[in-house]
Structure 1
Amino acid sequence: MTLVDLTVPSLRERSLDALPVAIVGAGPIGLATAANLVQRGIDFVIFEAGDDVASSIRQWGHTRLFSPWKHVVDPASRELLAATGWEVPAPESLPTGAQLVEQYLEPLAALEPIRSRIRTGVTVDAITRQGMDRTRTARRSSTPFLLRVRSADGVEEITARAVIDASGTYDHPNSLASSGLEPLGLPDVADRVSHALPDVLGRERSRFAGRHTTVVGAGHSAANTLLALAELAEQVPGTRITWLIRNASAVRVTTSDDDGLAARASIGRRVDALVHAGRIEVVDRFETIRLGRTDDGVRLYGLRGDDLVEHETDLVVNATGFRPDLDMLREIRLELDDIVEAPKRLAPLIDPNVHTCGTVEPHGFAELQHPEPNFFLAGMKSYGRAPTFLLATGYEQVRSITAWIAGDVAAASRLALELPATGVCSTSLPADGAASCATDAGDAGTAQSGCCS
């Protein structure tokens, strides 16, 4: 790969405030960040690894969000779009991921103040400070950030006054193995293991039709896929479904009757009904340790208590959740919770053992700060391994962060967030048969599937 010869101006030639804010990821949260910066007259550049904006959401575009349009459009973005005559589509209806992209994110990204600042097909490999690693302290806050980025044109280094990493977690699934490490034997069966939220009823139908699929995971992306597979099994004889979990029960796939998001209210009952009817086989208390290839599929080796057990299947769907990619931040001074890998002050507010999507308190720059001045994780990536993220929460995050960067401390500190009452975040399959997930979309690079983990 060619290394681009890039001359970086020194601080004597260019003040820190004259540099742009770097945004990593052009999904809903990255674009909302851009809209807020446009309103404040602050320059920025967006780096998107995919070939188009919202590239991760496009991968699960068949999936229907559980939040209606009125909850998934960023206020600052809506104001910019309204000036062009754009209106929020059917505020009470639930968009699919594809509809979110086509009817909202693409028009937003096409606005000139944003379009001209987006660089697609560019991967951020590393972030640091110009001329200093994480051990250097003197003049750190007044030194520009340095981003090493990679594209088809080569590698270059870009300076920035602040960095907002909204790259999401969708491209970084948790491991199938209960240890958190990749299971032994995975490379040998990688072609038979699917990412979470495959398009079972659409473009990947032929892959799953008439075959035995084992869905691994006890959360909402697992439930979404189980429901889609159950519908496929009604249409195609020989389609079999196994649900493999490591606990005695999938306690997260439940919800209360007073859930403020009606689309997910019946998930627990519906999945339970399929299990009780024998349409979904459940293998519980299975701690996966190794994978092996068979003539027709995959053999999973695991522990149940002290016993070594095996399970054979044609295909595996890894629906074990997601985790943030922290490798590119090795030279950044982060302060992360040692359990969920979220910013330390945010972690207690989003702990999935305590909170659901709708019980997370409003939070902004103060909870998202790190020892690295003017560096922020935002959106799904800020939640680390917690699955309780909603787009509305991320929009309030970046409104506060951009106000802080602009020096408007009063606005940055003034937090307000109205979320619907929730039970445990869940999924649903609408009557029209479109696949539906308990997700509120994530960020590009992501785009994390919101509460779908």
Structure 2
Amino acid sequence: MSTAQDQAAAQLPVVVIGAGPIGLAAAAHLVERGLEPLVIEAGASVGAAIQEWGHVRLFSPWEFDTDAAARRLLEPTGWTAPPAEILPTGAELVRDYLAPLAATPQLASRIRTGTRVIAVSRRGVDKTRTIGREDHPLFVRTVDGEGVVRDIEARAVIDASGTWGRANPLGDSGLAAVGEAEAAPYLSGALPDVLGRDRARFAGKHALVVGMGHSAANTLLSLVELAETEPGTRITWAVRGASVARLYGGGDADGLPARGALGSRVRAAVQAGVITLVRSFTIARFEVPKGASGPVQVVGSTPEGVQSIAADVVVAATGFRPDLDMLREVRLEIDASTEAPVKLAPMIDPNFHSCGTVPPHGERELAHPEQDFYIAGMKSYGRAPTFLMATGYEQARSIVAAIAGDREAADNVELELPETGVCSTNLPGEDEAGNCGSSCGTTAEPVTVSSCGDAAESAASPCGTAEAPAIEGDGCCGPSVPEPVKIGVGFATGLPNGLAGALERGDA
């Protein structure tokens, strides 16, 4: 690229796709380094995906839920960090952190909501063009709520759009079951607000929960609580495996006693007959009644033969996958199994790693053949469920350092995690202190569960000092060294109570 082209490219914004915690953290780091961010958010407001599970409490306390660069933007506005030890709900995360961050003078004019990215490419060349490719600027094609399509040229692109909204199908072999599309009116997302917004949909009805992660477990326990006050509410839990020991855990013998308490409560409800468990159930097809009047028939195979379950609503807690269609014209190196960047994939493969054994990684592991294009946050992990919020923050810091030309800071990545990915959350019937309400049963301790196999679109990065540096225009401002992330019990996963298990690569 010529000097003139270099200068022209330097005037372009760095486009960040997604205004969740990771996307806004990236924008904050860009501003610190004197780079121009432009954040594109499909939802009507920042954190729109998080709002969809706003009733759910995060696994991570406030201590780990905010990014250092973001804090440095917020503090001069009079913002005060919430109490470090409190576990926020998704709605509180947006209200008390993301919304104020988006309203800062540095970011307010640099965020476009209600605008969806439909493609990323290079101006004037398609994917097959190699010679002189980098001489053509990247651009993102967007469409707004009125259907107006625009192309935005970019110095670099960071895709932090997450995986929310791209649910794994309910059928076998990673494919949709026959009739699944037609059954859409009967299907619920992974985290329905059973005790609040969606109560009427479940009260007095027969709910089928499909999945064997913490998302399924918490929905089941919410349904159990609902059934105590809503006569006629019935609960069936279907899993593909022959054993549910992984979710039940070790009970009193569990190395993490509170995790054992979670599984014990689900097991107790099954043993009491409140939840009907159907093992080794592989969904083959949905039979929708004419006029959608009456329950849907969910037909599946079991070792005993074909079985049909009539359900008023089906909770699909079988995980998510990344949207790669919008990146078709970008040169990617994606692992065949995890759908993560090839250099990152062996470091996060859930067959070999839990959340806490994922080694530190940054821009080099996230780079693709397409120069200046990156996937960050939950989407960078593809179908692997080992993502942690703190990991996403360090990704954003390292990527921005590389874009700014600070190779040393980009490469000097530090992340210390416990080998057991532990996180804590409150279950239905418990208050913020972990005290049981009337429906808690016999366990009064705050619940701690393994987050390995748990993930969500939310992401951010705890690091650095609380001081906000002056923003220079030379691109050299901001921290030049990595800000280590030290995580202990109760670390930040950025995963809501329940979305965790939903990301188990369709392990239902």
Normalised by the size of structure 1, how large is the TM-score?
Answer: 0.91
Q: Note the 1:372-451 alignment, pairs <5 A.
A: 372-420=370-418, 422-423=420-421, 428-429=426-427, 431-432=430-431, 441-443=456-458, 451=500
Whether the aligned pair in 1 keeps the contact of 2:27 and 2:37 (CA below 8 Å) is yes
2:36 is matched with 43
Q: Take 1:135 and 1:66, find their aligned partners in 2: how far apart are those partners?
A: 44
Give the secondary structure class of the aligned counterpart of 1:266: helix
The CA RMSD measured in Å over matched residues stands at 2.5
Q: Does 1:270 align with 2:265?
A: yes
Whether the aligned pair in 2 keeps the contact of 1:220 and 1:425 (CA below 8 Å) is no
2:98 is matched with 105
1:278-305 deviations in Å (ceiling 9; x for gaps): 2211111111111012442111111224
Whether the aligned pair in 2 keeps the contact of 1:258 and 1:423 (CA below 8 Å) is no
Instruction: Tell me how far 1:311 sits from its aligned partner.
Output: 1.7
1:333 is matched with 331
Instruction: Tell me how far 1:421 sits from its aligned partner.
Output: 5.2
Q: Give the AA of the match of 2:236.
A: T
1:25 is matched with 18
Instruction: Tell me how far 1:252 sits from its aligned partner.
Output: 4.7
Q: Take 1:77 and 1:228, find their aligned partners in 2: how far apart are those partners?
A: 34
Does the C-alpha gap of structure 1 residues 335 and 89 become closer, same or farther in structure 2, counting only changes over 3 Å? same
Paired residues, what number?
Answer: 440
Q: Give the AA of the match of 1:396.
A: E
Residue 169 of structure 1, aligned match among 163, 167, 173: 163
Whether the aligned pair in 1 keeps the contact of 2:28 and 2:73 (CA below 8 Å) is yes
Q: Note the 1:354-373 alignment, pairs <5 A.
A: 354-373=352-371
Give the secondary structure class of the aligned counterpart of 1:65: coil
1:61 is matched with 54
Q: Does 1:214 align with 2:208?
A: yes
Deviates more, 1:94-103 or 1:141-150: 141-150
Q: Give the AA of the match of 1:360.
A: V
1:196-240 deviations in Å (ceiling 9; x for gaps): 100000011111011110011111211121111111112212111
Whether the aligned pair in 1 keeps the contact of 2:59 and 2:495 (CA below 8 Å) is no
Q: Note the 1:48-447 alignment, pairs <5 A.
A: 48-153=41-146, 154-250=148-244, 252-253=246-247, 257=254, 259=256, 266-294=261-289, 295-305=293-303, 307-420=305-418, 422-423=420-421, 428-429=426-427, 431-432=430-431, 441-443=456-458
Q: Take 1:393 and 1:230, find their aligned partners in 2: how far apart are those partners?
A: 34
Whether the aligned pair in 2 keeps the contact of 1:224 and 1:427 (CA below 8 Å) is no
Instruction: Tell me how far 1:102 sits from its aligned partner.
Output: 0.3
Q: Give the AA of the match of 1:349.
A: M
Does the C-alpha gap of structure 1 residues 54 and 44 become closer, same or farther in structure 2, counting only changes over 3 Å? same
1:108-153 deviations in Å (ceiling 9; x for gaps): 1111111110000000011011111111111223321121100134
Q: Take 1:389 and 1:243, find their aligned partners in 2: how far apart are those partners?
A: 26
Q: Take 1:263 and 1:344, find their aligned partners in 2: how far apart are those partners?
A: 36
Q: Give the AA of the match of 1:332.
A: V
Q: Take 2:283 and 2:424, find their aligned partners in 1: how far apart are those partners?
A: 24
Does the C-alpha gap of structure 1 residues 16 and 306 become closer, same or farther in structure 2, counting only changes over 3 Å? farther
Q: Take 1:39 and 1:423, find their aligned partners in 2: how far apart are those partners?
A: 31
Give the secondary structure class of the aligned counterpart of 2:247: coil
Does the C-alpha gap of structure 1 residues 428 and 244 become closer, same or farther in structure 2, counting only changes over 3 Å? farther
Instruction: Tell me how far 1:426 sits from its aligned partner.
Output: 8.2
Whether the aligned pair in 1 keeps the contact of 2:354 and 2:419 (CA below 8 Å) is no
Q: Give the AA of the match of 1:293.
A: V
Give the secondary structure class of the aligned counterpart of 1:83: helix
Does the C-alpha gap of structure 1 residues 100 and 388 become closer, same or farther in structure 2, counting only changes over 3 Å? same
Give the secondary structure class of the aligned counterpart of 2:166: coil
Instruction: Tell me how far 1:277 sits from its aligned partner.
Output: 2.2
Deviates more, 1:112-121 or 1:269-278: 269-278
Deviates more, 1:280-289 or 1:96-105: 280-289
Q: Take 1:353 and 1:251, find their aligned partners in 2: how far apart are those partners?
A: 18
Instruction: Tell me how far 1:264 sits from its aligned partner.
Output: 5.2
Give the secondary structure class of the aligned counterpart of 1:158: strand
Give the secondary structure class of the aligned counterpart of 1:241: strand
Give the secondary structure class of the aligned counterpart of 2:416: coil
Deviates more, 1:402-411 or 1:414-423: 414-423
- Uncovered stretches (5+) of structure 1, i.e. residues with no partner: 1-10
Q: Take 1:343 and 1:448, find their aligned partners in 2: how far apart are those partners?
A: 21
Does the C-alpha gap of structure 1 residues 44 and 366 become closer, same or farther in structure 2, counting only changes over 3 Å? same
Q: Give the AA of the match of 1:78.
A: R
Q: Give the AA of the match of 2:102.
A: A
Instruction: Tell me how far 1:356 sits from its aligned partner.
Output: 2.5
Q: Take 1:270 and 1:239, find their aligned partners in 2: how far apart are those partners?
A: 18
Instruction: Tell me how far 1:388 sits from its aligned partner.
Output: 1.8
Give the secondary structure class of the aligned counterpart of 1:73: coil
Q: Give the AA of the match of 1:191.
A: P
1:240-283 deviations in Å (ceiling 9; x for gaps): 11111111124553568555xx9756322222222222221111
Q: Give the AA of the match of 2:176.
A: E
Whether the aligned pair in 1 keeps the contact of 2:21 and 2:458 (CA below 8 Å) is yes
What percent identity do the matched residue pairs reach? 54
Whether the aligned pair in 2 keeps the contact of 1:211 and 1:314 (CA below 8 Å) is yes
Deviates more, 1:180-189 or 1:218-227: 180-189
Does the C-alpha gap of structure 1 residues 263 and 143 become closer, same or farther in structure 2, counting only changes over 3 Å? farther
Q: Take 1:271 and 1:117, find their aligned partners in 2: how far apart are those partners?
A: 46
